[in-house]
Amino acid sequence: MSSDFGKNLKVSIFGQSHSAAIGAVIDGLPAGYAVDEEALQAFVDRRRAKDVLSTARREADKVNIVSGLFEGKTCGAPLALFLENNDVRSSDYDELRVRPRPSHADYTSYVKYGARDHRGGGHFSGRLTAALCAAGGIALQILEQFGISVGAHVLRIGKVTDLPFDPVKVGKADFCYPTDFPALSAEAAEKMKAEILTAKSECDSVGGIVECAATGVPAGLGEPMFGGVENALAANLFGIPAVRGVEFGNGFAAATLRGSENNDAFYYDGDTVKTVTNNAGGVNGGISNGMPVLFRVAFKPTASIFRPQETVDLEKKENVSLLIRGRHDPCIAVRAVPVTEGVAGLTILDLLLGAGKDTLNRRGD
């Protein structure tokens, strides 16, 4: 498969929904940075299924770090971590071995791998995002030591929208929520919960949009064309199951605007060059410009819904009706919030490490 990413910071994700464990190896971490394991656990717990809004499968999600740390700090060696799988009910998936769920990877994994692990979606399960989240949490802790903060919230669930980040003023203070739901507005949070519970009560699911910002990102990260900030973030964010779109700054809305409306004027704020607006989402020509990096990620509604659906039997080669068993989230966008932050953190740390070499690029100044 291809469950690895990164250039300077290389992440490899392993595990299946029902394997003994899932986990990650992070190669390329800079040495000498503190890792707070308690804070890491708290971060991973933000993703953990724990209430009526999430799946009934309950995993402790205890993060075990087995290498890469020395006296509480990164030591430059690859950091490996794993989380056990305990609450598995594999028999729920027997039928799905040859009867693929609509809009899930059951069919394409059958075509491609044949002998894949179908239980719980195998390696295609959202369960894998626990490992991704844990890896991301480490990157985020290191970024904080560089003065870079990353935060996200649910901007939309179905028809309900949250307040957006202010593209220019967004800061670390915005990266917390007034309630136990990851929305900036307490009112929106209540409406979003209701939207999810309604879908759940109707044996259905609902989609959402996550908005994410990174502040403190220095100007100069990323490279032109295929090594830009957007390329790297988009490539990695599409690695989170259920992502259907990624946009930066004004994003798709920029298509409807004039240049005079969309351009961000430069000005000096003391010695620092800033932009008056931030329609670009902090990136010009693939390279960060020092303003907040801002993007949005669209998540589709969970494919696994508890209604009869039409599908095929791949052995009998006939059309059949399917009623899914198993335990599934009615809205994955909610638990995807820390995962999005984590992937953003890993990507930005990778870019930051890559930018180290640019100190050599300035001889000609």
53 lies in the site for a second copy, by CB under 8 A: no
Which range binds a second copy by CB under 8 A, 51-59, 167-175, 182-190, 310-318? 310-318
Q: Tell the residue number behind the tokens 């900030």, with chain if given.
A: 229
Stretch that binds a second copy, among 54-62, 171-179, 180-188, 287-295 (CB under 8 A): 287-295
Compute the Cα dihedral for 125, 128, 132, 137 and give only its sign.
positive
What is the spatial distance between Cα 351 and Cα 270, in angstroms, rounded to a whole number?
27
326 binds a second copy (CB under 8 A): no
Provide CB contacts within 8 A for 154, sequence distance 6+.
162, 181, 182, 183, 192, 208, 209, 210, 211, 333, 334, 337
Cβ neighbours around 110 below 10 Å, total: 17
Which DSSP letter does residue 34 get? Answer: B
What are residue 135's phi and psi, to 5 degrees? -60, -45
State yes or no: residue 303 binds a second copy (CB under 8 A): yes
- Residue 280 near residue 269, CB atoms below 8 Å: no
Give the Cα separation of 289 and 217 in Å (integer): 8
Does residue 44 touch a second copy according to CB under 8 A?
A: no
Least distance (Å) between residue 87 CB and a second copy: 17
Considering only residues 163, 168, 197, 246, which one is a binding residue for a second copy as defined by CB under 8 A? 246
Q: How far is the CB of 264 from a second copy (least distance, A)?
A: 5
Is residue 247 near a second copy by the rule CB under 8 A? Answer: yes
Q: Tell me: does residue 15 bind a second copy (CB under 8 A).
A: yes
Q: Is 301 in the site for a second copy (CB under 8 A)?
A: yes
Q: By rule CB under 8 A, what string of x and - marks binding of each residue 264-283 to a second copy?
A: xxxxx--x-x-xx--xxx-x
Options 13, 189, 214, 337; binder of a second copy; rule CB under 8 A: 13
Q: Is 309 in the site for a second copy (CB under 8 A)?
A: yes
Which value, to the nearest 10 degrees, does the dihedral of the CA atoms of residues 10, 245, 285, 166 take? -100
Member of 45, 95, 314, 327 binding a second copy (CB under 8 A):
314
For the chain, what's the residue count? 365
Site string for a second copy, 173-212 (x = CB under 8 A): --------------------------x--x-xxxxxx---
Return the residue of 35, 40, 53, 80 that touches a second copy, per CB under 8 A.
80
The nearer residue to a second copy, 150 or 243, going by C-beta atoms, is 243
Q: Is 69 helix (H, G, I), strand (E, B) or coil?
A: strand
Count of positions on this chain that bind a second copy (CB under 8 A): 161
C-alpha 302/C-alpha 71 separation (Å) is: 42
Specify the amino acid at residue 214: A
Q: Which of residues 127-166 bind a second copy (CB under 8 A)?
A: 128, 145, 156-159
Question: Which of residues 60 and 173 has its CB atom nearest to a second copy in the complex?
Answer: 60
Q: Which residues pair with 4 in a beta bridge?
A: 12
Q: Give yes or no for residue 115 binding a second copy (CB under 8 A).
A: yes
What is the Cα–Cα distance from 36 to 40, expressed in whole angstroms?
6
Residue from 164, 171, 216, 220 binding a second copy (CB under 8 A): 220
